[in-house]
């Protein structure tokens, strides 16, 4: 046979042999990826929480035309995440109702409320003992301002119809029902607008069945329209780390109702945090108090020396709320506390909030409070903070 013909057939024969080989050996076939990564059903919402925004007279006097200036600059980096929650303890009723930061009757100019979004706040709880300091007009002015700003609020209502509904805010596909209550108000709420202020105690400051039923109704309604239920409670006794009976009773009751996060305030000092587990296994994270976020009082009457000093110390909590859309379970994790000192010097000058991880004894010695107490020191403050929290809380 012609050699040229033989060589011409060699590629054809080789190709045919390869086809037969691969046909009978499936191992060499290209692998197809049949397993795909399962879509996660857990959604995370990062959250920052502060204590009371209590704007007092000396702070107004230091401000330039009621502007914050650099007061919040050093703590602002900690106000981060999807939800940033604060308790606005002062009405923002405007000049026409009289600006006051004295005498336990408070009202702020509109500019105070208008600046809060610049700090990051997108949720304000408004239920507190100063809520009725300017009557219905103060409530109306405050709510109308925040509504105009599209600021989400809870705990101050303009009608009975509104009181009967759950305020809901959505972040990252998770719906949050936010409820807020106060133990009482400093002035009597008229019967013609008693819908405006939500209480959790009766007029004798007792946690009665009537008020348990109110909480149960509200929480069950919140569960119908939200994935996660947060309750803010203005409660307890001022100037103490000790929890009252009503704090503990209300906490246990809310835990049994299935509330996910409780944010307490009113004590004007830091208080403990803890996880509670109900009889059905539901876990609630409780922040009893984060002290003051904003304040300005060097004397602090009605208190002893220790808590006059700790009145100057507040906290910011950063945490992650995880909600599983499949199991409907919610967990709170990555809890970190950043304590800070409300620093101001002689005669209420140079106000600024300083994270405690940036604080030192030199700054403590310059604080106006040091003129009233030799115990206002870096080491004493550090000891007080550390004794309040167990290993489940990361202290920054």
Top-confidence residue, 104 or 46: 46
pLDDT at 25 over 50: no
- Quick one: what percent of the chain has pLDDT higher than 90? 88
Burial status of residue 159 (CB atoms within 10 A of its CB: 0-12, 13-18, 19 or more): exposed
Question: What is the reported pLDDT for 295?
Answer: 98
pLDDT bin (cut points 50, 70, 90) of residue 309 is: very high
Query: 171, 83 in Cβ contact below 8 A?
Result: yes
pLDDT bin (cut points 50, 70, 90) of residue 12 is: very low
Mean pLDDT of the 34-51 span: 79
Query: 166, 152 in Cβ contact below 8 A?
Result: no
Which structure tokens are listed for 88? 């606005």
Top-confidence residue, 29 or 318: 318
Q: Using one digit for the tens of pLDDT, what is the confidence trace for 175-187? A: 999 999 999 999 9
Query: Could you tell me which residues are beta bridge partners of residue 345?
Result: 349
Domain architecture of the chain: domains with CATH: 42-395 (3.60.21.10)
Question: What is the reported pLDDT for 381?
Answer: 98
d(CA 177, CA 230): 6
Q: Using one digit for the tens of pLDDT, what is the confidence trace for 237-255? A: 999 999 999 999 999 999 9
Query: 58, 348 in Cβ contact below 8 A?
Result: yes
Which residues, including other chains, have CB under 8 Å from residue 51's CB and lie 6 or more apart?
Answer: 86, 87, 265, 289, 290, 291, 292, 293, 314, 315
Mean pLDDT of the 27-47 span: 63
pLDDT at 125 over 50: yes
Query: Could you tell me which residues are beta bridge partners of residue 314?
Result: 340
Q: Are strands 152-154 and 123-125 parallel, antiparallel or unpaired?
A: parallel
Alpha helices in the chain (DSSP H): 3-24, 57-62, 110-119, 135-148, 160-163, 209-225, 245-257, 305-310, 361-366, 378-388
Question: What is the reported pLDDT for 276?
Answer: 97
pLDDT at 15 over 80: no
Query: 79, 50 in Cβ contact below 8 A?
Result: yes
Question: What is the reported pLDDT for 40?
Answer: 84
Question: What is the reported pLDDT for 227?
Answer: 98
Q: Which residues of 49-84 are buried (b: 16+ CB within 10 A; e: fewer)?
A: bbbbbbbbbbbbebbeebebeebbeebeebbebbbb
d(CA 98, CA 109): 8
- Quick one: what percent of the chain has pLDDT higher than 70? 90
Question: What is the reported pLDDT for 168?
Answer: 98
Q: Using one digit for the tens of pLDDT, what is the confidence trace for 183-224? A: 999 999 999 999 999 999 999 999 999 999 999 999 999 999
d(CA 295, CA 348): 11
Q: What value does the mean pLDDT of the chain take?
A: 92
Mean pLDDT of the 263-268 span: 98
């Amino acid at each position: 046979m012609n050699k040229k013909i033989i060589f011409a057939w060699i590629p054809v024969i080789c190709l045919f042999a390869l086809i037969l080989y691969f046909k009978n050996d499936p191992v060499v076939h290209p692998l197809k990826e049949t397993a795909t990564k399962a879509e996660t059903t857990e959604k995370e919402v990062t959250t920052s929480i502060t204590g009371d925004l209590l704007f007092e007279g000396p702070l107004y006097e230091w401000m330039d035309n009621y502007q914050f200036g650099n007061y919040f600059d050093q703590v602002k980096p900690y106000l981060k995440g999807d939800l940033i929650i604060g308790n606005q303890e002062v009405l923002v009723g405007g000049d026409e109702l009289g600006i006051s930061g004295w005498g336990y009757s408070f009202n702020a100019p509109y500019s105070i409320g208008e600046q809060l979004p610049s700090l990051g706040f997108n949720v304000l709880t408004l239920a507190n003992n100063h809520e009725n300091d300017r009557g219905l007009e103060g409530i109306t002015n405050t709510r109308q301002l925040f509504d105009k700003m599209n600021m989400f609020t809870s705990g101050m209502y303009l009608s009975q119809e509104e009181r009967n509904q759950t305020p809901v805010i959505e972040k990252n596909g998770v719906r949050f029902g936010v409820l807020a209550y106060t133990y009482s108000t400093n002035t009597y709420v008229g019967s013609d607008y008693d819908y405006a202020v939500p209480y959790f105690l009766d007029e004798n400051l007792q946690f009665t069945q009537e008020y348990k039923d109110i909480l149960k109704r509200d929480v069950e309604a919140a569960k119908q329209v939200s994935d996660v239920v947060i309750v803010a409670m203005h409660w307890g006794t001022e100037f103490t780390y000790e929890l009252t009976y009503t704090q503990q009773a209300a906490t246990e009751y809310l835990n049994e109702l299935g509330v996910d996060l409780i944010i307490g305030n009113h004590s004007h000092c830091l208080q403990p945090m803890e996880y509670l587990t109900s009889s059905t296994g539901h876990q609630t994270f409780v922040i009893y108090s984060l002290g003051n976020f904003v304040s300005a009082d060097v004397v602090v009457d009605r208190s002893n020396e220790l808590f006059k000093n700790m009145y100057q110390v507040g906290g910011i909590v950063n945490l992650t709320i995880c909600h599983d859309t499949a199991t409907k379970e919610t967990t709170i994790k990555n809890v970190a506390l950043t304590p800070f000192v409300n620093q101001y010097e002689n005669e209420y000058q140079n106000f600024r909030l300083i994270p405690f991880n940036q604080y030192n004894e030199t700054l403590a010695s310059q604080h106006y409070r040091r003129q009233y107490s030799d115990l206002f020191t870096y080491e004493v403050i550090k000891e007080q903070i550390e004794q309040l929290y167990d290993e489940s809380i990361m202290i920054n």
